[in-house]
Amino acid sequence: RKLGVALLGLGKYSSGQLAPALQQTKLCRLAGIVTGSPEKAAKWKQQYQLADKNIYDYKTFDRIADNPDIDIVYVVTPNALHAEYAVRAAQAGKHVICEKPMATTVADARRMIAASQKAGKKLSIGYRLHFEPHNQAMMHLGQTQAYGPLKHLVSDNGFRFGNDTPWRVDKALAGGGPLMDMGIYSLQGCIYTKGQVPIAVTAKFDPKTDTQLFKDVEAGLKWQLQFADGTTADCHTSYAENLDGRLRAEAANGWFELQPAFGYGGLAGSTSKNDGKLNLPNINQQAAQMDDFADCVLHNKPTRVPGEMGLRDVQLLLAIYRAAETGQKVATTDVQKLIDRT
């Protein structure tokens, strides 16, 4: 039997990426939905042939506990709501995949981990690039020092925000601006290419180009990660300009980079040695990510992208904000103890 996944929050990512990916997965399938919109419920029911008993709204959702068709709840709401639904799903006895960023506060992230642990269920974060060949190759080349020790990393990721999802510039729902949404890819990319968690961060907000649109959150932000051996990573994120989505590593004996690095497809890489090591296929990342999680559930294996990794990143994102707000270098040594997985 394929494991049943219920998507909770049927916005752009669920409808554009996750539901189509669940038509390609081998170990799991779209079995249910949780939505506040009766119109969406009717449309999805017909489009994906969903059983009535597998369709929930946010009030009836807790009854999912009694539904053996649903093994996994995938939380795809605005960021600040992840915690409530991930906790309720765990309390209902379900495994959980939660979108990035895991939460907007450290307390929420801890609450989510505790709820899954208490329920004896797995919790993973929607870090799809850990299952994507180009990014996996960056991890491998960086962590094995294939081009010698890493010296410097560069990454950017951002887009010109058009306000089609207003919650993204509402601090209460998003937890922050482009750093929470797009910068998290650069943070992740630098950590998994280096294979270490940074020991300190410095950061500076970009000027606010549109003070009305960005009244609540940053328009953009540049930050530097500092690693224990002196390696640095310079990153930039923005909602005010289109940035490439780049991940570049400069090592003692050459460089390697992805550009674009973080999209759903069309990723491409090159290296100073022209050795073809980053000439790799593009795959359906979400299908690979969800099948990996289903495999972990079926065979009781740890996920590569656990809640603890999500918590670590929430802590680092908040450290970057603190660095930008204070103008001071912020040490992350306490964060490091949390998880050694990169």
- Of residues 16 through 55, those in contact with ligand NAD by CB under 6 A are 36
Tokens of 204: 């500076």
**Does residue 89 sit in helix, strand or coil?**
helix
Q: Can you tell me the distance from the alpha carbon of 295 to that of 304, in angstroms, rounded to the nearest whole number?
A: 12
**Does residue 176 sit in helix, strand or coil?**
coil
- Say whether residue 94 binds ligand NAD (CB under 6 A): no
Q: Which of 3, 7, 76, 290 binds ligand NAD (CB under 6 A)?
A: 76
Q: Which of 5, 7, 13, 197 binds ligand NAD (CB under 6 A)?
A: 13
Q: How far is the CB of 168 from ligand NAD (least distance, A)?
A: 8
Alpha-carbon separation of residue 62 from 75, 83, 288 (angstroms):
14, 14, 28
- Say whether residue 11 binds ligand NAD (CB under 6 A): yes
- Of residues 150 through 179, those in contact with ligand NAD by CB under 6 A are 165, 167
Q: Which of 7, 21, 30, 81 binds ligand NAD (CB under 6 A)?
A: 81
- Say whether residue 9 binds ligand NAD (CB under 6 A): yes
- Say whether residue 261 binds ligand NAD (CB under 6 A): no
Q: Can you tell me the distance from the alpha carbon of 241 to that of 157, in angstroms, rounded to the nearest whole number?
A: 10
Spatial CB neighbours of 28, under 8 Å, sequence gap ≥ 6: 2, 3, 4, 5, 22, 71, 72, 290, 291, 293, 294
Q: How far is the CB of 11 from ligand NAD (least distance, A)?
A: 2
Give the residue with the Cβ less far from ligand NAD, 219 or 251.
219
Pick the catalytic residue from 56, 85, 94, 100. Answer: 100
- Say whether residue 128 binds ligand NAD (CB under 6 A): yes
Active site residue 100: yes
Contact 138, 249 (CB under 8 A): yes
Alpha-carbon separation of residue 57 from 32, 35, 46, 72, 95 (angstroms):
11, 5, 17, 16, 19
Other beta carbons within 10 angstroms of residue 209's beta carbon come to: 14
Active site residue 13: no
Q: Can you tell me the distance from the alpha carbon of 51 to that of 185, in angstroms, rounded to the nearest whole number?
A: 36
Segment near ligand NAD (CB under 6 A); pick from 8-16, 206-214, 271-279, 305-313: 8-16
- Say whether residue 12 binds ligand NAD (CB under 6 A): yes
Q: Can you tell me the distance from the alpha carbon of 142 to that of 153, in angstroms, rounded to the nearest whole number?
A: 10
Q: Which of 78, 183, 245, 306 binds ligand NAD (CB under 6 A)?
A: 78
Give the x/- contact pattern for ligand NAD in 212-231, rule: CB under 6 A. Answer: --------------------
Binding site for ligand NAD (CB under 6 A): 9-14, 36, 76-79, 81, 99-100, 126, 128, 165, 167, 181
User: Any idea which residues carry the catalytic annotation?
Assistant: 100, 185
